[in-house]
Amino acid sequence: MTLAFNAALCALILAAALATILGRGIFRSIMFFIVYGLLMAVAWVRLDVVDVALAEAAIGAGLTGVLFLAAFGRLVREGAEAEPPRRINPPAAVACVGLTAALTWAWFSLPIPERPGPQLAEALPRAGVENPVTAVLLNFRAWDTLLESIVLLAALIGLWMLTREDDWRNRLGLPQHVRPGGVMSGFGRVLPPVGLLVGVYLAYVGADRPGGAFQGGTVLAAVGLVAAMTGLVRPPRISAPGWRAVLVAGPLVFLVAGLAGALLGTNFLTLPAPVAGGAIFVIEVALLLSVAVTLTFLVLGPPEGENRR
């Protein structure tokens, strides 16, 4: 039964992947890409890594799908949705097949790893949280996570550099128009409360079960997008000081927590075992807010004027 399910899942993933790259039409490729992301999320669940599954579903299928659809919408409006040539690019095909073959060979030549490793199991009681993934992300390898939260910020500043000079003071993204009482505005009222609950819950349980600030933040970002797209809230301008403060809150709190360790005579980013749990909670709350707002802004895109197509 398990084997049959796994085999079917693998076949579906391969079929969705092939349909994405070989199918006719950009729109169809995007749809298959979203399906592929969701199937991958199921596969991660089968492999017992629910944290990765959550991230894959939320970012790989969800937010990336929204971005692709938005880009496709623009191509249509510009009248530029030309059918890409269906010709296979030989060098790219050879490179991809070669890489796949090499990685497959490597996979078979590798030993099956111990999970969790002995060092991790030994140190986990001092981490302040029970979920080993959260322990790695916010304690053992907190330096990586701090930098990753900064990477998000760098991506947003880079995106804002694509703004046209005249649009800099406009609101983020394209202006949205929604028919009052329509399906969209109905969604705008039903989805956000549910999403808020799920997002906050995911972040909260991250301490001892799968979840955490990044996964929860992605769900909250989806709430923000729905609220913006259905006209429930108007996106802010880049100059809005409050929103900018929320953007940097996560990295800033993380940095201050790290410095506290250095100033108190231990190492940078040291969270002493008795207070580690509390410190991680505070950092996660700040990260949750920053991740949610940064992702929302990233998907909304740079400010664009009312008069532009």
For another protein, the binding residues (CB under 8 A) are 99, 102-103, 105-106, 109-111, 113-114, 117, 119-120, 123, 139-144, 147-148, 150-151, 153-155, 157-158, 160-165, 168-169, 238-239, 241, 244-245, 247-248, 251-252, 255, 258-259, 261-263, 266-271
Q: Which of 122, 197 has the CB closer to another protein?
A: 122
Q: Which of 226, 238 has the CB closer to another protein?
A: 238
Q: Which of 180, 241 has the CB closer to another protein?
A: 241
Q: How far is the CB of 59 from another protein (least distance, A)?
A: 15
Q: How far is the CB of 178 from another protein (least distance, A)?
A: 29
Amino acid at 30: I
Beta carbons within 10 angstroms of residue 85's beta carbon: 7
Q: How far is the CB of 208 from another protein (least distance, A)?
A: 19
Beta carbons within 10 angstroms of residue 285's beta carbon: 18
Distances (CA, A) of 150 to 45, 108, 188, 251, 291: 28, 36, 30, 6, 10
Q: How far is the CB of 292 from another protein (least distance, A)?
A: 17
Distances (CA, A) of 107 to 36, 110, 111, 113, 254: 22, 5, 8, 11, 36
Q: How far is the CB of 149 from another protein (least distance, A)?
A: 10
Q: Which of 32, 254 has the CB closer to another protein?
A: 254
CA-wise closest residue to 282 among 74, 140, 138 = 138
Q: Which of 38, 248 has the CB closer to another protein?
A: 248
Angle between helices 213-229 and 183-205 (to 10 degrees): 170
Pair 283, 152: CB distance under 8 Å: no
Q: How far is the CB of 159 from another protein (least distance, A)?
A: 8
Q: Which of 261, 277 has the CB closer to another protein?
A: 261
Distances (CA, A) of 240 to 168, 172, 195: 12, 11, 25
**Phi/psi of residue 128, each to 5°?**
95, -15
Q: Which of 22, 262 has the CB closer to another protein?
A: 262
Q: How far is the CB of 95 from another protein (least distance, A)?
A: 10
Pair 218, 62: CB distance under 8 Å: yes
Q: How far is the CB of 98 from another protein (least distance, A)?
A: 11
Q: Which of 181, 241 has the CB closer to another protein?
A: 241
Distances (CA, A) of 111 to 105, 108, 212, 231, 294: 12, 8, 30, 53, 39
